[in-house]
Amino acid sequence: MKDTSACAQFFIQHFGFSSTFTSQWYMSLENDGSELALLSHNHETIPDNFRNHTTGLILNFEVEDAELEFSRLVHNEHCVVKLPLKDEDFGQRHFILEGPEGILIDVIQNIAPSSTFIENYSS
């Protein structure tokens, strides 16, 4: 990522993370025991052939109430929606936001799957 600080600020502001370590090239964020590490795409610790800007990354955040989070993040905080709130037959109520630097954020509430998908789940 090009700007770890700006990216971190997005997750702090919208998802309640707090910073646990900060440097020019690396930031560690924490939320309820989960860590999100943000690393500059061109730092020497990344193997040479992987020092590119990442695309197509989706982070899943599970929530208790996707409709409530949609209202908070989209209507109140004006985050950009890439997939509107919807229920999926495979057992999710979710929406996708555009995060910083091309990261997509899938905000997910688990719901009962349709009868078509129940057989796909392990007991």
Q: Give dist(CA 63, CA 56) in Å, integer.
A: 22
* Same domain, yes or no: 120 and 64: yes
Q: What is the pLDDT of residue 13?
A: 96
Residue 22: which domain range?
1-50
Q: What is the largest CA-CA distance in the chain?
A: 50
> Per the structure, how many domains does the chain have?
2
66 and 121 housed in the same domain: yes
Q: Are 5 and 39 in the same domain? A: yes
**Hey, which residues does 35 pair with through a beta bridge?**
30
* Consecutive H or E run containing 37: strand 34-39
For residue 31, the domain's CATH number is 3.30.720.120
pLDDT in single tens digits along all 123 residues of the chain: 788 999 999 999 999 999 999 998 999 999 999 999 999 988 999 899 988 887 889 999 999 999 999 999 999 999 999 999 999 999 999 999 999 988 999 999 999 998 888 877 766
Q: Could you tell me how many residues make up the chain?
A: 123
What pLDDT score does 2 carry?
84
d(CA 28, CA 106): 20
Is 85 found in the same domain as 45? no
